[in-house]
Chain A
């Protein structure tokens, strides 16, 4: 009996490790809070253009009026990952014909326009969210973030972080195609 008792610690640890192994499931995210915006209409907003650029400003009506699913990308000149994804976004616009709208988040207009001059401007419209107010309504957790909005103005997909690797691009493209298919089926 006493000898059996000595095995108790191992037994307890065995059970604990069973739970740990379960907990390591890669699909499980203890911090996961599903994005509240998914399947919700895009928040109402109307942002002025970035001063010093030719690109018009952005409002929720512009997104709805696009007539096809669009990508809304939140970026800033001070954000290093944004620089990394800028190339990818430009390619998506030029090669795949994606409609890209931008929200310039907490950025000085001069910095933003210099940044666009330097790197090129793939955005159809850019709203300047200097105060960060609209960012709050979009529930940003950081910059960059990218949203896919369907023709009804509903948020169908959210990507947090820079779109640089093929995985991210695939996810975005899949979401866009689904939104297009849905629009075509609905008409």
Chain B
């Protein structure tokens, strides 16, 4: 009964989306207020219906209703409750429903909160949003219905892929989707603006909070995925340039570019057609990600069940949305240009270079990701493009960007004084040298790029802090005065400083954990001691442990430092009999200086039951990755809470900050 309600709600949502996709946009072109306003109730109804459908599916997972195919193939009655809930979006169908739900949530968000958006733009935006909804809802209903029944129902389910039975990964898809799909509303705004033929600073201001919200979610989602890979896959790495990681990373890179170019559109009324193009491409890359994950186009650890029919359907959807919007762009963009002029040394120019570097980096990642497909299509050879290509292509593009991030905020609009900016950055240059020297001292034979990157991290950290300090006149004025200034500073200014510092911290983590990683692999029998990075790790043996839906070989290791016992580490190797899968659970001792990371592998031989393969890793600074991400996310929230951008808040011109006080981020 409940699944049928869900099914019915899904169909009604499609009907609501169909109305929303036609009526408001027609009303906007004919000037009929009532038709335009119909976008608001339809968006809300669509969102409510999809919530009902999603709740119905979730309920089927919670009570393990194996008459529903989707539940039977992705759940198991013995699974812990949280993973039953997470199973709702663990499958192709369920995650698609989540996609559609988030799409509708963003539409409803604009309908409810966008009170100050002109009626015409709002109606068109919501109609475009509904076009996307119609595409995805029909795709779901016709090819991947989450509510399909099975008779006779199986005795028990097939279980969710045990690798995915993890708290980090249970939360990763919803966050990632919030980001992916969040860019849909930006896309809709862009297409609506193209249809209207008008892009102005006000448009940029309406788009910005949605871009920021999507960007923050995507940042969090990618970081969670990365964190999961780090402790769950058992290889000790956090980024593998896997196609599916890349498809989430590309919208992030381009979304970051969009975030910055929209500032120029907002402040200086220029870069308009570029901002629109970025808005379209960012969401196009999100769609591309959805397509690649679900079509079996590339080989990846994440791929969902492959079905060519589905692939063709999504490809058609993509061709219409991406091809259509880009054609519209080519047709309407010439009408958009104009706006302020600027000299080669100015904040505009800095942001232009930022955009070019980010766009080039995105193109490089896209090319590397799709190259195996190109090559196979043309020559028939099967290859995979691995980290060496991406590191060689990506890192050199990022280094100048990081350098620029330090100077950029010091540059003023239109015409800037580079010499003056560098004068104020003496301290940052000094710190950068100290960082680089320390990196060189730490590992004299290490990669040169690591030394440069580490130096740049110091540079960015100090430059960002310095910029913030000079805004609040820290040290130049009495402390109370600085405090007052800090209070009055637009939230977006704090946001920029935090986010830029976050990037610096991220770099420390990246360099430390990839360039200076220490690794030991050995056959260990009880009593074996491994020495690594000043720790002595003693292997005490392995015990068989039983979990709710798995059995596990749990190793026990004791960690000493300078003869004193510090901690006990228990890495596991789990076998999930229902899903027929083996997983490793690493054991980690985390400190700010680095992680001691232990995994246990196969027994060395069938006969020698007490000899095990042991991997012991020391990853310096790896936690800076997560700390840096937290900075990025908090920075994003700060910017989001800026009064200037607050969605739906009544304008209070009296207390609004003067425009020149608004930072680049």
Interface residues of A (CB under 8 A from B): 2-3, 6-7, 9-10, 13-14, 16-17, 19-26, 29-31, 78-80, 83-84, 131, 133, 142-143
Contact = CB atoms under 8 A, between A and B. Distances in A.
B147 to A, nearest CB: 22
* A-B pairs, 8 with minimum CB distance: A26-B308, A30-B299, A6-B330, A10-B326, A24-B311, A7-B330, A23-B297, A9-B326
A24 B327 contact: no
A45 to B, nearest CB: 14
Contacts of B437: none
A35 B44 CA distance: 53
B370 interface: yes
Contacts of A142: 580
Interface in B309-336: 311-312, 315, 318-319, 322-323, 326-327, 329-330, 333-334
A10 B374 contact: no
Given A20-B291, A20-B297, A13 B326 contact: yes
A19 B330 CA distance: 22
Given A6-B333, A30-B297, A80-B155, 5 more contacts: A3-B334, A13-B326, A16-B370, A17-B319, A24-B311
A26 to B, nearest CB: 4
Interface in B238-287: 273, 277, 281, 284
A24 B315 contact: yes
A31 B297 CA distance: 10
A122 B135 CA distance: 49
Interface of B: 154-156, 158, 273, 277, 281, 284, 291, 295-299, 308, 311-312, 315, 318-319, 322-323, 326-327, 329-330, 333-334, 370, 372-374, 376-377, 382, 577-578, 580, 606
Nearest to B306: A29
Contact of B296 (A16, A30, A80, A83): A30
A2 B333 CA distance: 10
Contacts of B370: 16, 19
Residues of A contacting B: mostly: helix
Contacts of A2: 334
Contacts of A30: 296-299, 372, 382
A155 to B, nearest CB: 22
B144 to A, nearest CB: 16
Contacts of A131: 606
B66 to A, nearest CB: 11
Given A9-B329, A10-B327, A19-B374, A79 B580 contact: yes
A17 B315 contact: yes
Contact of A24 (B155, B295, B329, B577): B295
A78 B330 contact: no
B397 to A, nearest CB: 19
Nearest to A2: B334
Given A79-B580, A80-B156, A24 B323 contact: no
Nearest to B298: A30
A17 B323 contact: yes
B311 A9 contact: no
A23 B323 contact: no
B322 A13 contact: yes
Contacts of A133: 606
Contacts of B577: 78
A6 B280 CA distance: 13
Contacts of A23: 295, 297, 373, 376-377
B583 to A, nearest CB: 15
A139 to B, nearest CB: 15
Contacts of B281: 9
A78 B281 CA distance: 48
B330 A9 contact: yes
Contacts of B580: 79, 142-143
Nearest to A22: B377
A143 B575 CA distance: 14
Contacts of B323: 10, 13-14, 17
A47 to B, nearest CB: 15
A21 B158 contact: no
B315 A10 contact: no
B578 A80 contact: yes
Contacts of A13: 284, 322-323, 326
A6 B334 contact: yes
Contacts of B155: 80, 83
B296 to A, nearest CB: 7
A142 to B, nearest CB: 5
A2 B308 CA distance: 39
A92 B515 CA distance: 59
A16 B284 CA distance: 12
A17 to B, nearest CB: 6
B152 to A, nearest CB: 10
Nearest to B292: A20
A7 to B, nearest CB: 4
Contacts of A83: 155
* Residue in A2, A9, A14 whose Cβ sees the most chain B Cβ within 10 Å: A9
B315 A20 contact: yes
A135 B13 CA distance: 49
A83 B330 CA distance: 58
A74 to B, nearest CB: 12
Contact of A31 (B299, B330, B334, B377): B299
B315 A21 contact: yes
Contacts of B299: 30-31
B579 to A, nearest CB: 10
A133 to B, nearest CB: 7
A22 B326 CA distance: 22
A22 B377 CA distance: 7
28 contacts: A6-B329, A6-B330, A6-B333, A6-B334, A9-B326, A9-B329, A10-B323, A10-B330, A13-B326, A17-B315, A19-B377, A20-B297, A20-B373, A21-B315, A24-B295, A24-B297, A24-B311, A24-B315, A30-B296, A30-B297, A31-B299, A78-B578, A79-B580, A80-B154, A80-B578, A83-B155, A133-B606, A142-B580
A25 B295 CA distance: 10
A16 B366 CA distance: 11
Contacts of A22: 377
A14 B298 CA distance: 19
A24 B308 contact: yes
* Residue in B158, B291, B299, B330 whose Cβ sees the most chain A Cβ within 10 Å: B330
B324 to A, nearest CB: 9
* Residue in B319, B326, B382 whose Cβ sees the most chain A Cβ within 10 Å: B326
A161 B296 CA distance: 19
Nearest to B295: A24
Contact of A19 (B318, B373, B606): B373
